[in-house]
Structure 1
Amino acid sequence: MSVFDRSDSDEFARGARTLVIYPELPGKAAVGAEARLDEAEGLALAIGLQVVRKKHYRVRSPRAVTLLGGGQVEEIAEIGRELEIDLLIVDASLTAIQQRNLEEKTGLKTIDRTGLILEIFGERAATAEGRLQVELAHLDYQAGRLVRSWTHLERQRGGFGFLGGPGETQIEADRRMIRDRMARLRRELEDVKRTRSLHRARRKRAPWPVIALVGYTNAGKSTLFNRLTRATVLAEDMLFATLDPTMREISLPGVEKAILSDTVGFVSDLPTQLVAAFRATLEEVISADIIVHVRDIAHSESDAQRDDVLSILRDLGIGQSEDDGSGPEIIEIWNKVDLLSDERRLELTAIAKRNADILMISAETGEGVVAFKQSLSAIIAKRNIVRIITIPNNDGAILAWLHARGKVDVRSEGKGNLSIEVSLSQQLWGQFEKQFPYVLDLP
C-alpha cells in the first residue's frame, strides 16, 4: 500500500506542494544538516513532488508527542498556510503518534523518511522479487500505523466497554489480515531466495568471477555499469534510480568472462524494514568475488556516505573476513572526478596514489575506466593458479584456448614442444584437463 493511497484523493501522488524539514536531534552533527536537507529534497523529487521549501530545525529535547517543539510546530503550520503546502516530509523517523499529532496540529498530510523511501521503492521496483520485498517492508511499516491508516477505525470509540467496540474488532481483523499477507510474502520470498541460491551455486561452479558494484545512491554505479557492459540500465541524476539487481557479462584483459552486478544504492538511515526485506538481493554482494565501492568523490558528504556504505556492508558480514582471504576483495573507486576543481583533483590524486586499492575515474567521460578494468584483471589473476606445462608447438587450438581465458608466457621452445607458464582459475584448469587430457602426458 502506498503512503499516498491513504489520502482521500490522488492529488498528492504527483506534483504535491511539499515542505521538507530536517529535525537535527541531539548527537547529530550540524555540519551535515544542509546536505541532509538536499538529500531529502532529492528523495522527494524522485517521486515527482514539488519541493516549495526546505528547513532545518535544531531539536534540543525531542518530544514524544510531536518530536518537534511547540513553537516549531506552529511555525510549520504557518508556513503551510502561507505557501499552500499539501505535504510535510519530516526527514527523521516518526512514531505513529508523532505522525498523527503533527498532521492534526499543522493541518498537513505528513510522512517521515521511512515512508518516503518506501514510496520510492514501491514506485521503482520492477521485478516480481522487488515488488514482493517492497510490499513486505510496507506492510511491516503500516502494521504499527493502523490507527491512522484506515478511515473506518474512527468507529473504535463505540462499544460496550468490556466487550470492546466494532473498532477494536476491525483493528484486530486488519492486523490479522496484514500478518497473514506478510506470512505469504515471506514464503514467496523464501522461494525466490532458494532460486537465487541455486543460481549463485551454478555461477560458482562456472569459471567466471562475479564483481558487484556497491555504493551510496546516485554515486554513479549504473553509469559505470552501462559503460562497462554497454547495457542501458536506467542511469539518471536521481536517488534510487536502480532498485532491482542487474547482472551482465563483461570482458576484461586476460579474462575470458566476468559477471558484473549493479545493486541498489545505499542511503543513510536506511529503514530497517528495507534492510531486512532486501537482504536476499544484497546477498548477491556477499557471494561476489570482488566488491567495487563506487563513491561520488565530488559530493560534499562523500566521507559520510562512505561510512554509511561500509556500515551496511558490515551488517551483511562483509569487511570482517578479508584478511584470511575467505571474503571478497574490496576496492574503492572515486567517481565523478570530472566534477572536481583542479585544486581538489590534485589533492585527491596524491591521496589515491598512496593507496593501491583506490582508483579515480569518471564513469560519465570514461576517464580512468581502462586502468580500472586492468586493476580488476590483476585482482582476478591473483586468485589464479600458475602452472608450467608443455604443449605441441604446432597446436594452435590449445594456445588460442589458453590465450582467450588466461595469461600465457612462453618459457622455452624445443623438440617440437613449447614450455609455457599459464595462469588460470581453478575451474578453468579443470576445463582444460577435460578438453586437452593428452597435454598432461607430454614430456
Structure 2
Amino acid sequence: MNADDVVVTGLGLISPAGIGVADNWKGVLSGRSAAASDPELAGLPVDFSCRVPGFDITDHLDRRVAFKLDRATQLAVVAAREAVADAGLDPRSWDGARVAVVLGTSMGGVGSMEREHAKMLQEGHSWVSPLVWVMSPVNMIPAAVAMDLGARGPNLCAATACASGPTAVGTARQLLRAGMCDIAIAGAADAPLTRMTMAGLAQMGALSTRADDIAAASRPFDRHRDGMVVAEAAGVLVLERSADAGARGARVRAKVAGYGATCDAHHLSAPDPSGRAVEAALRQALTDADLSPQDIDHVNAHGSSTPLNDVTEARVVRRVLGDRALVTSTKGVTGHALGAAGAIEAAYTVLALQEDTVPPTANLDALDEEVELDVVAKEPRTAPLRAAVTNSFGFGGQNGVLVLTAP
C-alpha cells in the first residue's frame, strides 16, 4: 500500500437493519426485511416503509440541540460520532482545520420543510418556525456534523440523488489526495419518509405495492419484483491517507481503491437501457484502482428492486465483470434509503471484505432470467474477498461506483 492511498479507518451506521455497525451487520446477514406498515403514511397508496427501529434522538443528543436538526441531520450526526470513535479519533484533540466533512443527501431536510409548510397553510405564516431555514437546506447535514465534531476544514454536500454516497466518498478521497485535509468524514444521510415524498413516488409508479406481504416487498433481482421500498438511514466513513493512519497506529478496515462517476444524460428518472454510462463508470473505477475485471470478488449492487434498474445493472455487471463475482443487494433488508443508500452500502462492502462474507439478497426466491449473475440469496456466503465494487445510480441518470479492497 502506498503512503498516499486513501483508507477507511472508521464506520458509522444507522439504518433499518439496526443502530450502530454491529447491529447493522447482524441485520443484513440475517436476510430479514425491515419493511413494515408505517402509521405516518396511513391513507396513502403505499403505507409501508423501512424506518430505523427504536431510534430516539434524545438517547444520543441533547434535546435542545436535536430540536434544531431535521431527522436526516440527526441520523448523520449520530453516525458520524460512531465513525469517528470507531477510527480511534478524539475531536477534542485533533486539528479541526485539517478535518473535512463531505456528506451527501437526496432530500435534505424535507421533513422539516413539509411540517412548516403545513403549519403555514393551516395556521398562517406567523406560525412558521424561523428554524426552517437552518433545518431544510441540504448543506446543513455536513454543516451540523462539522459543528458537532469541530471539523473546520472543507465542508461539502454531495447531492447526486441515490449516487450521493459514492460521490461524497470519491470527493473526500480527492480532498485527501490534494492535501486539503488530513481526515475526511464522508458518507450520506436521508430521511425521506414523508407523506409528500411517498405520495410522489407512488404517483411515479416507483414503489412496490405488495401490501399483502410487506416483508417480501423489497426483492432485488427477483422476477416478481414490482418496485422499491423507501427507507431512512445514514452511513459515514472516516477516510485518511495510509501514511497518516499508519503513523498513529490506526486499524485500517479497507482501501478506497477506485472511483468512477458518469451521467446517463437520458431520462429524468428511468435508467438508460443500454447501460453505457453505468458501464463507463464501472470501467473508470476499475482503471482508477488499477484492477482488472477478474480481480473483483464481490459486487454490492444498486439492486433497487425496480423492474428496469435491476436488469440494466445486471447486464452491465455481466458485460464488464463476467459472472465470477458474488453479487448481493442489501436493499432487500434495508429498503432503498435514496441518498443514503450508497453510503451504507459502501460500509457493508467494507465489512464484507473484512469478514470474507457476502450478505444474502433478501426475498430472492426466483432469479430473473435476464440476471445472469451469481446472486447470493437465502443465507450469507463465505469466500476469500480481496476486491469489491459497490454501485449506486440515481434519478437524473447520475452514477457512482466505488472499488474497495482489503488492506
Q: Which has the higher helix share?
A: 1
User: Shorter-chain-normalised TM-score: which range?
Assistant: under 0.3
Please identify the structure whose Cα radius of gyration is greater.
Answer: 1
| TM-score after normalising by structure 1 | 0.24
Which structure carries more relative contact order (alpha carbon 8 Å, separation 6+)?
Answer: 2
